[in-house]
Amino acid sequence: MKNIHIKGAPKNFTVKENGKSFIENAYKKASALSQKLKCISFSDDSGIEIFTLGMKPGIRSSRFFRGGKGMLEIVRKVRKKKNKKCCFTCAIVATNPKGELIFKTQKSWHGKVAENPVGNNGFGYDPIFIIPGINKTSAQISSKLKNKISHRAMALKEFIKWLKKARTDVSWSHHLFH
């Protein structure tokens, strides 16, 4: 069986994330890297979407965060609303050496916005994302559990499933593995 060699992007490699969706932003990053390195690349894009705020901040989640001020703004805006539904969304895209799309998936982890930030585990919006059935925020659960049930875990499972299938496909073997 052949081995997979995974390398990170070169230092200072950046791509302007100005797409209109998580998939588009992930594609822009993976495609630019594939073309630069002449190899198959993959990338993700993720964020939080608040239903009552028109699915914002969405693809602008990291810019909206502003050192936690954005998280507190979401809590303040949603606190008196009936609809507190939200979701974390993660898109993963893979592209071939020419930058062409060869895989994509997008998964969402649904929950609701907390009344106040709670918990210290995790990062970003984890302290305001209440997990249904568990009734704790994502920042209150263990990393091990989060890595089993989160949006990233769901998307990664799909990617791994595709990667395993691609690995056994003779036509991909030459390009994917060495």
Q: Which residues are catalytic?
A: 45
Determine phi and psi for 155, rounding to 5 degrees. -65, -40
Measured distance CA(134)–CA(113) in Å, rounded? 14
Residue partners of 38: CB distance under 8 A and separation at least 6: 97
Give the DSSP letter of residue 9: P
Of the candidates 75, 69, 71, the residue with the CA atom closest to the CA atom of residue 52: 75
Sheet with 101-113, side-by-side order of all strands: 56-57, 41-50, 85-95, 101-113, 129-131, 136-137
User: Which residues is 124 bridged to in the sheet?
Assistant: none
Q: Quote the radius of gyration of the chain (alpha carbons, Å).
A: 18
